[in-house]
Structure 1
Amino acid sequence: MTSDPLKAIEDLTKEVNDHIDKQGRGVFKRYPVTFALLATFGVTAVGSGLKAILDKVFIFKENPILLVFIGVLVLMFTGSLFKKLNK
């Protein structure tokens, strides 16, 4: 076992995903439209929920450009983090 806890978690996650992929592959092939609709609903529900939460935050409601700016900063940060961790 490695001494890096993040590597151990990634390895465990990969094993779980591989196991679930083998078990669930048949279900996804049999009912692709059902799972596509459920996934679409889930993504839409999360997006609508986040929008409702952000609409209640006064500073974002009054200054939507600030929300866009913060969103761009978060995307830039995650992109640079991905590049650094991918090396």
Structure 2
Amino acid sequence: MDQVRDNRAEHEFVLEVDGRRAIAAYQMEDDTIVFTHTLVPEQLEGHGVASKLIKAALDSARDRGLKVVAQCSFVAAYIERHPAYRDLLA
């Protein structure tokens, strides 16, 4: 699996696997990153792609000192399952 990259110009974290792109879209509001939705191609579902994508996105937010708003239900569920990220919530 490739590395997650932050495409700041398009406001999305991207993970490409087998020529397919999974994305975690976001909006910036001052020092807060608002995750709006996560899209994973059907062929990649069930292989941990979304989890790897969101973990990298949340780690990036922490590294940058950002707070997080999880409008996306997958991001919210990920944070619920991984309490170490709860301190990021705005």
Normalising to structure 2: TM-score of the pair?
0.26
Normalising to structure 1: TM-score of the pair?
0.27
Answer 1 or 2: which has greater helix percent: 1
Answer 1 or 2: which has greater strand percent: 2
